[in-house]
Chains A and B, each alone.
Chain A
Amino acid sequence: MGSIEKIHEMLTTKQCSCAELTKSYLKEIEKSNGELNAYVNVTGDEALKTAAIVDEKIASGEQIGMLEGVPMTLKDNLSTKGIETTCCSKILKGYKPIYNATVWDILSKQNAVMLGKTNMDEFAMGSSCETSCFGGAANPFDTGHVSGGSSGGVASAVGANIAPYGLGSDTGGSIRQPASFCGIVGLKPTYGAVSRYGLIAYASSLDQIGPITKTVEDASIVFDAISKYDDRDSTSKGNVGGDTYSKLNNDIKGSKIGIAREYIDGVRDDVKNAVLNAAKVYESLGAEIVYFDLPALKFALPVYYIIACAEASSNLGRYDGIRYGYKTSHYNGTHDMICRTRSEGFGEEVKRRILLGTYVLSAGYYDAYYKKAQNLRGTIIKAFNNAFENCDIILAPTVPMTAFETGHAVSDPIETYLTDICTVPVNIAGLPGVSIPCGFNAKGMPIGMQLIGKSFNEATILNAAYKYQQAAPENFKDTKWGVKL
């Protein structure tokens, strides 16, 4: 049973009240957040208010929904009306949105109890959570290691049981990679399945919101709840593939699981072995493993960085100190004010990506970089389509390595970018991918693998993930932290 189902049962059978449950989470947050730095803003008062509403409903004998009264957290790039939303950037400090992101609209209407907003790499640009203006979030398995990025805070909180679940965003791996580093489950849905309205954009054609959870059931429940068509997002399609929860535990006998050699070559041995062992588990469950080549993947990383940075350079132009957020205090004229505000408000990595994005879009370079990258995006999508003619699911490592030690990631940008090599192709092609834990390295740090599906086939990959979770529960390990349900 997943955490959400367990909490739902505890509430409906009155083993504890929602207020008591919420308080125990808040207490654990207070105890451990100093060390973990998972939360950047704890919203205890609001959480208890919602808990009181839920308790009243339960007391009056009303039915409550599966997510009702269940505590949770949101990455700090999801807009929450009246609650500071910063993207962990100095430039948005103090900004309180006047509207809700669609996902928060959906969940708050179901009386989800938000414990607070969680840490992330500044504007979701990073793989370690260390570009956050609040400093990085620590890994619950070993606080000397990073939680991963960019949704590091959510992963750290969920991994440390100081949130039952959370929503992150994934542009090039930002849900799956920290989930992998923290030994938990992270689902990046098909592009268009979840509305992006209210998600502060990094790269609009790649961004997707998804759940980070302890178990596959939890991921499935949350995905089903948030994957709704939204008429405020022109790229929204909703959950075309239908409900996933009812399809968990379908037989996977005869399913074809593909492994692309390009995904396996070049990853560290412990990671490679864990993934190949998982393949064996699938074989034992009756699935067929097929190997194939996906040469187009070689270009995925530069294609990703060109497109992501180009879109980011445009999306981040609006932070000018006029309408919201940080404004420099000393300047001479409007142009000077804007330049100073941006130079002081953005961190180094964000500035680097804005400059790169501006460069690849500028006159004389547009064709060689941006246009060519868009063309290759078509090639990569086609390659995945071809691959899916011979398999139902692609199995791959989530990250070529395990969580690195704190302070190690930021030195060389290119090397850092390489950690995204297994996650970015899914964003480029808009496909769904779920990362689940599949073992540990010699130091006991978790290893993750991802299951990639055809567009809107979340049910297929979640079912396969669930099957693995049932077959190898030892890889879904608890940490010393937080609330014990």
Chain B
Amino acid sequence: MKYELVAGFETHIELATKTKIFCGCTTRFGGEPNSHCCPVCIGLPGTLPKLNRQAVRYAIMAGLATHGEIAKISKMDRKNYCYPDLPKAYQISQLYAPLSIGGYVELSNGRKIRLHHIHIEEDAGKLIHRHGDTYVDYNRGGVPLIEIVSEPDIRSIDEAREYVEKLQQVMRYIGISDCKMQEGSMRCDVNISVRPEGTEKLGTRTEIKNMNSINNIARAMEYEFERQVDLIESGGKVVQETLRYDDATNTTSPMRSKEDAHDYRYFRDPDLVTINVSREEVEEIRASLPELPADKCRRYIDELGIPEKDAQLLTKYRKISEYFDAAREGVKSPKTVSNFIIGQIFRRTETESDKEVFDVSVTPEQLNELVKLLDSGKIRNNLAKSTLEKMLDSGKGALEFISESDMGGLDEETMITLCRQAIEENKKAVEDYRGGKEKALKALLGNVMKNSRGKADAAAAEAKLKEMIG
């Protein structure tokens, strides 16, 4: 029997606010243990939380960027569970009235992965286990998170990969998180079940935690899919449980002990008040959002004539598309700009993280200047390409490498002069050509190019020569 994978994601994303969600401590990564803390974020008795406005705004941005509906009234709840990394023994989160409801992430195959909701909550501290002892650091405790909860709409590992990549891309675009899985600023839990292909009923699901890269997510899901299928095929039953992925062994194993009871006893946090989000504010935030990558990609294809594959590359990271947009300002052919970026500049930004930062020695304005020289016919393509390399090496502008004499030689008068000179110096070739030897023109053309010191446009010169001797 063939089985189908069914998966849903719970994705935690650390918001890029300057301060924690309920106090003024910095959210900066690292630092001495327990040095980014205050009475509020270590939960000293008597302290009270105060909600960071920016965290709410970022969460609304995330909701809008994933086509969610922003709740008019949203509330904070307490999720009660006792664990050393949680200093109040409850996490302030949202269950009954989250900030964003519904929405979706669209994949390249056209399928829409529906979102259940997005809510805000606080992060827990960090535990280090050493020789059986537990060391607790609360620097991360209270860093604002959003949790994006999807419906179980994912049907393959590839879709899972793309879903995570798309979320990462969108959240980075709107600037609310750096979404670094390795540093833990983006963390995914996957709910996974299997069912015989063609059937509707959902199987029993397991939840996998502790995967710190997209590749790990894919491997863990692959392993878990096989495990569940084998279990069912051999007459067993999948048990609903939480599993930890171990990337060293590429296996999953049960995570919680029976000490951990499962009843979170959510209730409204009496220390915090209602969040009312006015429709004006939603529209103001919507208007402030940058164009989303999917929309931008579509526009590059439809309006600028960029091939789909190139458009995707240009929109993968916000910095690249911003670079492209600045560099194509007022040029005749955006595709030329795109070609320079994808062809030459990408060779200098090889890794994904280089591409994400896109810190290029040539400014988009400098590239724009170069392309405009090309547009105006003042230089030709080969010269432009080699000049761009020199620019990338040095960070200097195009005019540093192209002399006055390199340019302007292509005006009509000069072209005619050069062609006349070539005709006079190659009488034999002219006769051969007139006699029907098409190839003879090559010698004439070579002469023109040589005398123009490479500035002449070959096609234009050929046309002019034909006109003059034909």
**Which A residues form the contact surface with B (CB < 8 A)?**
77-79, 85, 87, 92, 95, 97-99, 101, 196-201, 203-205, 231-235, 310-311, 313-314, 317-318, 320, 322-324, 334-335, 338, 358, 361-363, 366, 370, 374
Contacts and interface: CB of A to CB of B under 8 A. Distances in A.
B94 to A, nearest CB: 15
B134 A334 contact: yes
A235 B43 contact: no
3 tightest CB-CB pairs across the interface, nearest first? A317-B89, A205-B270, A361-B265
A233 B48 contact: yes
Interface of B: 39, 42-51, 78, 80, 82, 84, 87-90, 134, 136, 259, 263, 265-268, 270-273
25 contacts: A77-B46, A78-B46, A85-B45, A97-B46, A198-B46, A200-B45, A201-B45, A201-B46, A203-B270, A204-B270, A204-B271, A314-B267, A317-B82, A317-B88, A317-B90, A318-B45, A318-B88, A322-B136, A323-B42, A324-B45, A361-B265, A362-B265, A363-B263, A363-B265, A366-B265
Most chain B CB atoms below 10 A, which of A77, A205, A361:
A361
B48 A232 contact: yes
B91 to A, nearest CB: 11
A234 B84 contact: no
Contacts of B266: 361
Contact of B82 (A311, A320, A323): A320
A338 B82 CA distance: 9
Contact of A234 (B43, B45, B268, B272): B272
Given A234-B273, A313-B80, 4 more contacts: A99-B44, A201-B45, A314-B267, A322-B84
A320 B86 CA distance: 11
A338 B271 CA distance: 25
A334 B39 CA distance: 23
Given A361-B267, A370-B267, A323 B43 contact: yes
B337 to A, nearest CB: 51
A99 B87 CA distance: 17
Nearest to A374: B268
Contacts of B134: 334
A98 B44 CA distance: 9
B271 A235 contact: yes
B24 to A, nearest CB: 10
Identify which of A200, A334, A370 gathers the most chain B CB atoms within 10 Å of its CB.
A334
Contact of A232 (B44, B50, B87): B50
B48 A196 contact: yes
Given A200-B46, A235-B271, A317 B80 contact: yes
Contacts, number: 99
A79 B263 contact: no
A85 to B, nearest CB: 8
Contact of B259 (A320, A335, A366): A335
A362 B263 contact: yes
Nearest to B34: A323
B50 A234 contact: yes
Contacts of A98: 39, 44
A101 B46 contact: yes
Contact of A361 (B39, B43, B80, B136): B80
A311 B270 contact: yes
Nearest to A364: B263
Contacts of A317: 80, 82, 88-90
Contacts of A203: 270
B87 A318 contact: yes
Contacts of A235: 270-271, 273
Contacts of B43: 318, 323
Contacts of B51: 234
B265 A199 contact: no
Nearest to B271: A204
Nearest to A358: B265
B48 A323 contact: no
Contact of A320 (B39, B44, B84): B84
A391 B408 CA distance: 95
B336 to A, nearest CB: 56
B272 A197 contact: no
A99 B39 contact: yes
Contacts of A92: 45
Contacts of A77: 46
A313 B88 CA distance: 11
Contacts of B273: 234-235
Given A204-B271, A235-B271, A361-B267, A199 B39 contact: no
A358 B272 CA distance: 21
A314 B272 contact: no
Contacts of A322: 84, 136
A231 B50 CA distance: 8
B425 to A, nearest CB: 88
Contacts of A334: 84, 134
A134 B267 CA distance: 33
A85 B263 CA distance: 32
Given A205-B270, A234-B49, A235-B271, A314 B80 contact: yes
A320 B46 contact: no
Contacts of B268: 374
Contacts of A311: 270
Nearest to B42: A323
B257 to A, nearest CB: 8
B48 A234 contact: yes
A97 B271 contact: no
A449 B273 CA distance: 33
Contacts of B270: 203-205, 235, 311
Contacts of A78: 46
A334 B43 CA distance: 19
A324 B136 CA distance: 13
Contacts of A234: 48-51, 271-273
Contact of A324 (B44, B50, B267): B44
Contacts of B88: 317-318
B175 to A, nearest CB: 27
Nearest to B138: A323
Contacts of A323: 42-44, 87
Contacts of B265: 313-314, 358, 361-363, 366
B45 A79 contact: yes
A78 B45 CA distance: 10
Nearest to A317: B89
Interface centre among B44, B82, B265, B273 (most CB of A within 10 A): B265
Contacts of A79: 44-46
Given A99-B39, A314-B265, A320 B136 contact: no
A335 B258 CA distance: 11
A231 B24 CA distance: 12
Contacts of A358: 265
Given A204-B271, A338-B82, A361-B265, A314 B48 contact: no
